[in-house]
Amino acid sequence: MRITLISDTHTRHDEITQDLPGGDLLLHTGDIMNSGYSEGDITSFCTWFNDIKGYDKKIFIAGNHDRLFENAPEYVANLLKDYPNIIYLQDELFGIYDLDSDKTTNIYGSPWQPEFYDWAFNLPRNGIELAAKWEAIPNNTDILLTHGPSYGTVDTVKGREWQSLGCEILAQRIHQIQPKIHVCGHIHSGYGYEFKDGTHFFNASVLDERYKYTQKPMTFDWDKETNTIEFVQ
């Protein structure tokens, strides 16, 4: 399966089109908007995402800048009906069935993260509400999409002595269920890849801390049976 990862496009999605080579799956882990209040941010992104050619499935989740997704979920759900070629996940599981292998790849997406200023999908760090969100992640998840990183992995911030800002409870849950792939964004300077305890961790933020497009989408071929990857871009 060929997979491309992007995140934190913040209305600058048009700039990355030339760096999307096509494949089986395109995944976006949130922050499509800026302030989070403009419907135009949503329709601009969804039109772009819907019309991207060359991918069999295109899936995205919301992030902390995507306020309307939390504040007006029914309104946003109605907007998304106009874009049949994309899949939005909010605390949901989506399965991709492979007829050849007679197996399903399970993808779970969730936008929540520990409190980060006064933004969307924030819950108290180490609180029971956040723990409940992560407990809801199914044990059979193969690819986990969250907006924020787990603690200690692709979650460091420049200028704060490389302070880790990931979620401790999420890290514990990932250790329990061991998804094959975890994709996040949110902490732009955490962009990168790490393999740890059987899970491939990606921070797919394409904008740097100055909101400039300097961090390229990551594309790789993934063998689910062996859980090996080979980068192609």
Ranges of the chain with pLDDT below 50: none
- Kindly report the backbone phi and psi dihedral angles of residue 49, in degrees, each rounded to the nearest multiple of 5, phi listed first: -65, -40
Cβ count near 84 (within 10 Å) = 8
Q: What does the pLDDT read at residue 159?
A: 61
Q: What does the pLDDT read at residue 44?
A: 97
Q: What does the pLDDT read at residue 57?
A: 97
Domain range list for the chain: 2-231
C-alpha distances (whole Å) from 193 to each of 22, 62, 65, 72, 218 are 20, 21, 23, 34, 9
pLDDT tens, residue by residue, 133-176: 999 999 999 999 999 999 999 998 876 556 788 999 999 999 99
Strand partners, 233: none
Which CATH class for the 2-231 domain?
Answer: alpha beta
Q: With the C-alpha atoms ordered 145, 26, 180, 217, is the resulting torsion angle positive or negative?
A: negative
